[in-house]
Chain A
Amino acid sequence: MMSNFDPHAHVAAALAAIAPDVDAEDLDADLHDALGLDSMDLLNLAAAIEHSAGITIPERDYPGLRTIRQLESIVLSRHSSP
Chain B
Amino acid sequence: MPDPPATDALVPFTMPSLGADMDAGTIIEWLVTPGAKVKRGDVVAIVQTDKSDIDVEVFADGTVVELIVPPGHKVPVGTVLAQLAPSGSARPAQELATAVILPATIEPQPEARHEPRPPVAAHAHAHGISSPMLRHLAEELHVDVQRVRGTGEADRITRSDIEHAASRRRISPRARRLAREVGVDTSELVGEGPVTGDDVLRAQTIGAMPASAVERPRPEPSSADTMRRTIARLMAKSWQEIPHYHVGLRVDVHECMTALAALNEQRDAASRILPGAVLAHAAARAAAAVPGVNGYWIDDAFVPGDGVHLALVVALRRGGLLAPVIHDAAVKDLDTFMAEMRDLVTRARNGRLKASEVSGATITLTELGEGEVDFVTPIIHPPQVAILGIGAIHDEPWADNGMLAVRPVVHATLAGDHRAVDGRLGSLYLNAFRRFLQEPIR
Q: List the interface of chain A (C-beta within 8 A of B).
A: 18-22, 32, 36, 38-41, 43-44, 46-47, 50-51, 56-60
Contact = CB atoms under 8 A, between A and B. Distances in A.
Contact of A56 (B268, B274, B318): B268
Interface stretch (B142-150, B224-232, B328-336, B341-349): B341-349
B271 to A, nearest CB: 9
B404 interface: no
B345 A40 contact: yes
Given A39-B370, A40-B345, A43-B342, A51 B318 contact: no
B317 interface: yes
Interface in B286-345: 315, 317-318, 341-342, 345
Contacts of B317: 19, 21-22, 36
A50 B342 CA distance: 17
13 contacts: A18-B346, A20-B350, A22-B317, A32-B370, A36-B317, A41-B346, A43-B269, A47-B268, A47-B270, A56-B268, A58-B265, A59-B264, A60-B265
Interface in B356-372: 369-370
B215 interface: yes
A56 B265 CA distance: 10
B394 interface: no
Contacts of A60: 261, 265
Contacts of A41: 346, 349
Interface string B267-284: 011101011100000000
Given A46-B269, A59-B264, A40 B350 contact: no
B125 to A, nearest CB: 53
Contact of B342 (A19, A36, A44): A44
A18 to B, nearest CB: 7
Contact of B276 (A19, A39, A50, A58): A39
Contacts of A21: 215, 317-318
B346 A40 contact: yes
B272 A59 contact: yes
Interface in B81-127: none
A57 B38 CA distance: 41
Given A20-B215, A43-B269, A59 B370 contact: no
A47 to B, nearest CB: 4
Given A18-B346, A32-B370, A43-B274, 19 more contacts: A19-B317, A19-B349, A21-B215, A21-B317, A21-B318, A38-B349, A39-B275, A39-B369, A40-B276, A40-B346, A40-B349, A41-B346, A44-B346, A50-B270, A56-B268, A59-B264, A59-B265, A59-B272, A60-B261
B269 A50 contact: yes
A18 B350 contact: yes
A46 B272 CA distance: 10
B350 A43 contact: no
Nearest to B276: A39
B268 A40 contact: no
B422 to A, nearest CB: 35
B394 to A, nearest CB: 13
Contacts of A44: 342, 346
Closest 4 CB pairs of A and B: A46-B269, A36-B317, A47-B270, A47-B269
Contacts of A20: 215, 350
A59 B345 contact: no
A51 B270 CA distance: 9
A14 B317 CA distance: 17
Contacts of B346: 18, 40-41, 44
Contacts of A38: 315, 349, 370
Contacts of A32: 370
